[in-house]
Structure 1
Amino acid sequence: FYNTGIATYVWVLTNRKPPHRRGKVQLIDASARFQPLRKNLGKKNCELGQQDIETICRTFLDFQETEQSRIFDNAAFGYWKVTVERPLRLAVDWSEEQQEPFFNACIGSGEAPLADTVQDVLDQLGPGPHRDFNGFLDAVKGEMQRRGLKMTARRKTLLQTRLAQRDEAAAPVVKKVHRRGTPADPLHGLFATGPGGRVVEYEPDGELRDTEQIPLQEEGGIEGFLQREVLPYAPDAWFIPETVKIGYEISFNRYFYKPQPMRTLEEIQADIVQVEQETEGLMHDILNTDRGRG
């Protein structure tokens, strides 16, 4: 672009492609096609000459694979943006360090009855740590029901954020239990648990959430990628198909970059010898200068 060092890309777009171009994208590397300006215009120091324009147009019309012309399917530039979830794992440890902050949070939220209920439940269960938050939550719900109280969303949030702590060794926190007969599908967040095989969804852990950019032409699609690249390291991971987004990007460097060959050992050695020789001469001059001053 004029007066900048930004590279220029020329896009040729049409919705009336001939049959042999449909579903295809042609990339042309014309970075070597230019002629210098007699006088710079800002940072602009070159332009396309008539011969350059003719060469580029001929390459475009030929529609052939060459070193400067690459042809791809449309899908080669596409990708799925997939959010990968991991389950939230919480443990309850009724230590002195935890009790006071939890009581203060409950009182500050107007939920003093919740603090009293938790105190009584943990007096029965023991201080812990209790690494099954689901069982702990059921115990609290049972005690609240006995007292004529309900487990509201705010009370559950207080238990999760002000009392429980993340623990990799803890059981995943259950978000939803599905009806009997619901098929398990772990890769899509439906897990079978317990001897009865009930299917549940887990509460996702925002701190463990990750995003993968998966090519549309990936072998096996999203599922194949996750099974190869994610599940071996995080077997409890899943994704929600409804949250998947599709995007496209074109990187010329990926297709036209030519890595520079590495220098040989002989070339490196010659440079080192030359630097040593120059340094010796410099030290000789410095020493002679100092002696002359003395």
Structure 2
Amino acid sequence: MDDATRDMILFGAIGGNVKVYNLSRFTFDRLRGQDARQLHDNLVDYITKFSGNVRDIFLDKFLFTDQLKRLKDGGILWNVFERFCEIDLHPDSISNLEMGYLFEELIRRFSEISNETAGEHFTPREVIRLIVDLLIANDDTKLTGRGIIRQVYDPACGTGGMLALTEGALKDFNSSIRVELFGQELNGESFGICKSDMLVTGHDPEQIAFGNTLSHDAHKDKKFHYMLSNPPYGVDWKKYQDKIKAEADTMGFDGRFGAGTPRISDGQLLFLQHMISKMRDDEAGSRIGIVMNGSPLFTGGAASGESEIRRWMLEKDWVEAIVALPTDLFYNTGIQTYVWLLTNRKPVNRQGRVQLIDASGERFWKSMRKSLGSKRREIPDEARADIVRIYAGFLNGESGESDVAKIFDVADFGYREIRVERPLRLNFLVSQERIARLGSEKPFEKLEDQEKEEILDVLMALPDQIFTSRDAFEKALSETLKAEGVKIGTPVRKAILSALSERDEDADICTDKNGNPEPDTELRNHELVPLKDDWRDYVEREVKPFVPDAWVDESYCDARDGEVGRVGYEINFNRYFYRYVPPRPLEEIDAELRILEAEIAGLLKEVAA
């Protein structure tokens, strides 16, 4: 009998949704009553006799047999086993949620020791609850009734906390709803925990995939109603760049990364694009909630990968709201984070608009009695409800919320980066200093010594004066070269002009062969013109009054729309929610300095003693 047939028979015999069996003659209690010397072999028998879906977790992801051998070789296997037997881990005593907390606390401690990347392992439960509440806040009518099925997906699912809490929230709203959970996870231990949870809660464990989501999409062609995730912050994707860039270049928008790729040092926006590619096209559409750090909001200038991704999302009108969270919420980082909410089924009143909510202030957090690593704050239930109320009501400063909620048109986040040129003005002089510069010019260095001497003689024969016109200097140079019978090539001529010139704002403008002013690259500047402004009006208002000779390089155009200036998008929370903080009184600063000076003096005395 093959494994598949045996599994089908045994799963059928078990009944229900739980698809787990064990063919070993041992149970945990029986193991405890056996000879301690046989414990290792008995445990191996117990573990390897589980059904294949569990065996994969124990052996391949947690490497249990390797760990058991290490404990045996260290002579502590029985001691560890006895201590575990004394702990009551029954679901009646410890819920799945509490078990998740236990596991994640262990992960947190070990990640601190191993200096894991910030945000790579798990998300505090109150943050997950906030994301879930925001996702379903306005879906009452869609979730009401019988026969409703909702598919939930997390591309970096970790231990499955986001999936589990989303299912719980949906079930609380409508107990008859059917929730199907999907996910993918790269970390073996986290994947094992998530898959185990799927097994014991009656979900299909095969819908939780192992591997890197960005380089290998295990749920290709699948679409989901709700997607939520906390991808790792600031983690590079260098190891997978060949596959990712190949997909972006060859498939474009038929693949997942058609909008562009961010810098190699941070893959957060890759995860978000991946999730967008899995939005449903039906009437229900999809909703996305993702928590990221500040980098995806503003990193990258116009035409960069990050800016083009933001442009694509905003111009497609998928971004519904962004919520700034308090700092010090996560276990191994204190950085500022943001929840992005996206949907491809915006209600009419939200179309073309984006709501920003600044929930970083003291109103939305409280200090914890005891810190957990870097986590010193938490979002209480009432604050979470307040954030959801502001979002669901699409508030824009109403009811005293002007300091925490603002609504903008999509175009408010866009700008055109125009290139502003100023004319090149040079004077020319034959001096020892400038002739010395000529000696380091490569075209001149390559000449024979005799040729160098001839050119230097020509230069010394030029009038001893400052030329404020390049045309006049070139004419004098050409006449002197002809008179001395010396011929030079174009590269050498350019080297002479470069070495003997200096910028001079009082000199004449240098022009090209068509009589047009030449731009001075050192004076080149780029202005960011709001998308709602006409760049011509902007230049007349903001540039010309200060530099009347400036002009816009109209060949510097956007690759997508062909218009003057490159389009960029950024979302700057500090600009929109700036709060003035007055400086401390001088008396207070002076008093603090005197205290510090006294402390330093005391330390110096101790050293000198």
Q: TM-score range by the shorter chain?
A: 0.5 to 0.7
Q: Deviations over 1:138-165 (max 9, x none)?
A: 454567689695752x224302321222
Q: Which moved more, 1:27-36 or 1:143-152?
A: 143-152
Is residue 206 from structure 1 mapped to residue 517 from structure 2 by the alignment? Answer: no
Tell me, yes or no, if the aligned pair for 1:77 and 1:248 is still in contact at 8 Å: yes
Q: Is the 8 A contact 2:424 2:517 kept in 1?
A: no
Deviations 1:59-112 (A, max 9, x none): 112112122221011121222223322222222212344446546756523176
Match of residue 249, structure 1, among 546, 570, 575: 570
Name the residue aligned to 2:537: 224
Aligned to 2:385: 54
1:25 aligns with 2:354: yes
Aligned to 2:495: 158
Deviation at 1:22, TM superposition (A): 1.6
- Give the equivalent residue in structure 1 for 2:410: 74
User: How far off its partner does 1:200 sit?
Assistant: 1.2
Which residue is 1:215 aligned to?
Answer: 530
- In structure 2, what is the equivalent of residue 192 of structure 1? none
Q: Distance in 2 between the 1:233 and 1:260 partners?
A: 32
**Larger CA deviation: 235-244 vs 99-108:** 99-108
CA shift for structure 1 position 133:
0.6
**Within 2, Cα distance between the matches of 1:102 and 1:257?**
52
**Residue 33 (structure 1) shift:** 1.6
Equivalent residue number for residue 131 of structure 1: 468
Conserved in 2, the CA contact under 8 Å of 1:141 and 1:151? no
Read off the aligned partner of 1:232 and give its amino acid letter.
Answer: P
Matches within 5 A, 1:187-206: 199-202=515-518, 204-206=519-521
Q: Report the counterpart of residue 424 of structure 2 in structure 1.
A: 88
Distance (Å, rounded) in 2 between the aligned partners of 1:15 and 1:156: 61
Q: CA deviation at 1:225?
A: 2.5
Deviation at 1:38, TM superposition (A): 4.2
C-alpha contact 1:117 1:140 (8 A) present in aligned 2: no
Q: Are the aligned partners of 2:444 and 2:492 in contact in 1 as well (CA < 8 Å)?
A: no
Counterpart Cα distance in 1 of 2:457 and 2:486: 17
Give TM-score scaled by structure 1 length.
Answer: 0.68
C-alpha distance 175-155 of structure 1, shift in aligned 2 (>3 A): farther
Name the SS for the 1:236 alignment partner.
coil
Give the distance between the partners of 1:160 and 1:9, measured in 2 at CA: 54
**Displacement of 1:17:** 1.6
Contact persistence 1:141–1:150 (CA under 8 A): no
Paired letter, 2:335: I
In the alignment of these two chains, the number of paired residues is: 243
- Preserved contact between residue 86 and residue 238 of structure 1 (Cα < 8 Å): yes
Distance in 2 between residues matched to 1:29 and 1:17, nearest whole Å? 21
Distance 1:259 1:97, change over 3 A: closer
State how far apart, in whole Å, the 2-side matches of 1:82 and 1:137 are.
33
For structure 2, the 5+ residue unaligned runs are 1-329, 557-564, 592-609
| Structure 1 residue 132 displacement after superposition | 0.7
CA RMSD of aligned residues (A): 3.5
Separation in 2 of the partners of 1:107 and 1:159?
8
Partner of 2:505: 168
**Alpha carbons 2:365, 2:380 under 8 Å: kept:** yes
Which structure is higher in strand share? 1
Distance 2:503 2:578 in 1: 45
Distance 1:135 1:10, change over 3 A: same
Whole-Å separation in 1 of the counterparts to 2:340 and 2:440: 62
Residues 118 and 90 (structure 1), Cα distance of their counterparts in 2 relative to 1, 3 Å cut: farther
1:114–1:91 Cα change, 3 Å = farther
Matching residue's letter, 2:417? K
More helix by share: 2
How far apart, in 2, do the equivalents of 1:83 and 1:96 lie?
A: 37
Ranked by relative contact order (alpha carbons within 8 Å, sequence separation 6 or more), the top structure is: 1
**Match in the other structure for 2:164:** none
The question of whether the paired residues in 1 share the 8 Å contact of 2:435 and 2:499 is answered with: no
User: 1:183 matched to which residue of 2?
Assistant: none
Unaligned stretches of 5+ residues in structure 1: 178-198, 276-294
For residue 166 of structure 1, report the CA deviation from its aligned partner. Answer: 2.0
